[in-house]
Structure 1
Amino acid sequence: MKLVLHSYTFRRYPLRHVFAVAARHGWDGVELVHFHFDPARVETEVAAAAALGRHYGVEVYCVGYTGDFVGDDPAARAASLALAERTIAAAAEQGIALVNGWSGTLERDPDDWRVNGSALAGPVHYERAAEGYRRLGEYAARHGVRVGVEVYPGSVHDTVSGTAKLLAMVDHPAVVATADPGNAYVVSPADRDPAVLDQLAGRLGYFHLKNLRPDGGRADFNVDTADGVLDNYAWITRADSLGVPAICVEYCGDGDPHPPIARAGDYVRDCLALRDDLARRHASAEAAEAAGELSSTGTAALAGAAGSGR
């Protein structure tokens, strides 16, 4: 499984800085978001970013897109889909096999994520999103690229269940889910349990990791990955068990992002190492228990055998 650094973490820094930090801390790749490239010039911008990453020895693992596939304006939907297709083609040209984003937002109150997105969506919004992703799935498949649908506040897929519903409507193997528990925690109580990821089994293509503390109807992201309300050991190991190929870590809080993101990389590696160590210890203990039971059974049989005198 690859460990990816989300460039949003360093949104106040140039892209060169992102790659240098990723190289310093041994990250496998970077997710490139629009803070670090101009979507209107996506072809040249992604090519330049990929070339810069090669100089630092760090790949662009994923390119971000933003969409408006669900709004009422058909011209805006068409323009948004056309730009997403250009992003897919630009990624493919550089050998980048994943783009990630969301289908647009429906918003009633920006300070209360619980009343936006899926809470406002009707069948027409899901159908528009599904229609858009069917088109993008077909286009991406021809280019050897997958399209990530991120669990994102304000979107029709702002929960795991909403994302699973949308993917079932799309029904295309090139369209996969990007789980993000930090985005969904305040939206849905069901999204506080890592077992919810099982709804995405076979379709979990990417995973965003951060942590939070609830702040009314919003999330406060001014916490380290190992802090906050999410048990990220449970989320990381659950996602890994479902075969997710990469975990992308982001720090969305204020202040200096360097210390929390450095600790985050070590934390993810430690979680996976702990999982493996515990599995070995469980296997060893279970083998010892089985051997002990066999030994006890044999001793009991011998004690009760005819002619034993006892």
Structure 2
Amino acid sequence: MTSSADDPLVSTDWLSARIDNPRIKVIDASYKMPGALPLPSDDYLGVHIPGAVFFDVNAIANPGDPRPHMYPSTEQFARDVAALGISSGDTVVVYDSGAWVAAPRAWWMFLSFGHPNVKVLDGGLKKWLREGRPTHSGRVTPKPGKFQARLDPGFVRSKAQLLGNLDTHAEQVVDARPRPRFEGTVAEPWPGRRSGHIPGSRNVPYAELFDAQTGAMKSLQELRQAFENAGVDITKPIVTSCGSGVSALVLTLALYRLGVRDTALYDGSWAEWGLPDGPPVATGPA
């Protein structure tokens, strides 16, 4: 169980009271699937929380990797984050559109690269707007910060590690995709990928962990029930997965709220595993 001090979520009231604090840096990490318009960066220019800068999940990524938005190098992450005006001593508050896709991804990246002072805005921009709070539009040009990063490799898993796990079952793999994609009854939105899931994995669709109306994350009891219903033992090691390593972190965030630490992200997720010449695929319910 999390205390308020180590709860990764902060409320709109909390942020509103601190919006003018120069040591609190707000970032918009909204994300959409490829081809979805308008682009999240254009949405950001149209309306954002005052002072927020745009954290581009596709750009703060390894530019030489054909897989979508894989983790960048330590040097690149430090450089890109400093360019957003963030320094190592700052508290980062990350939000997204309120559809709960990519704010947890940015949160996990900051933690992975050794920056513990990072929070996710509960309900994101959706809740902020519903409450009639102030917004800005246009680009924010921050003064560059000084940011040091060091990646803890324990935060992420590779395909090779997940292949090894097929034999050892040392870690539970929990997939955040919608049920039809997990069960392989619909085509994958990522072109050229097979349908189905990693053999032995469990399914907790990320959209079931927050209230679609308000954008707020569900209660701790409801979160716990969602994992229990999927056959996940939260006392044992967990790796989260999804379509491309973004929405998986909604599960990670929920687990963190339940006091679960030491989970890991399969960064390549289905965009890697589902390739035509990839590893074994299972279909049907877990």
TM over 0.5: no
- Between Structure 1 and Structure 2, which shows a larger proportion of helix residues? 1
TM tier, smaller: under 0.3
Q: TM-score, normalised by structure 2?
A: 0.28
